[in-house]
Amino acid sequence: MAAVKRAYLAVYNWAVFFGWAQVLYFAVDALLRSGHEGVYAAVERPLQLAQTAAVLEILHGLVGLVRSPVSATLPQIGSRLFVTWGILWSFPETRTHILVSSLVISWSITEIIRYSFFGTKELFGSAPSSLLWLRYSSFLVMYPTGISSEVGLIYIALQFIKASEKYCIRMPNKWNYSFDYFYASILVLLVYVPGSPHMY
């Protein structure tokens, strides 16, 4: 069973690594060809696939495949999924902003390093010291640029969320329940304030 577990985790990590490598390649290519306005269109599908695949990491933690605590994994993956699907996919007005470029490049560099680190560990039992150094040092730059891009894009989207009332549930209805996506998004932004330094 230990061999099966390692084989599965190696395949998972390298598959997602190649997904993020594709995202980075398409992003840089789009930046060079058409500027930041074309980045999202170039990376949309591989970005969605690579980021959504991270949901499996929550499951890995829950069933004990990895030692990462779900309490640390869940907010990080949840916030990224919110930006990927709840902001960029849901509100096309945000897609041509320059922050999309810094977001995508920060995320992809971080994940290329992380998944290659864990993929190498699963295959060979350890990772080279250079990859170990990158794994625990690159976040000093990538985390602030990534998190500030996430916060910035949520903030930019607020005007479009409010105007469209997308995902809002208004009273009266048969459930006697209301939900406002605008205020929920503000709440997400407020969670970044205590959450970001803790994750850093």
Segments in the chain forming alpha helices (H)? 2-34, 39-52, 55-63, 70-81, 98-124, 129-137, 139-164, 181-199
| Cα–Cα distance, 82 to 200 (Å, whole number) | 19
Is residue 150 among the annotated active site residues?
yes
Q: Minimal CA–CA distance to 154: which of 191, 123, 199, 110?
A: 191
Q: Please, which residues bridge with residue 179 across strands?
A: 169
Is residue 181 among the annotated active site residues?
no
- Chain mean position to CA 147: 10
Name the catalytic one among 40, 111, 150, 181: 150
For residue 156, the surrounding DSSP H or E stretch is helix 139-164
Longest CA–CA separation in the chain, Å = 60
Name the catalytic one among 143, 155, 167, 192: 143
Q: Please, which residues bridge with residue 169 across strands?
A: 179
Catalytic residues: 143, 150
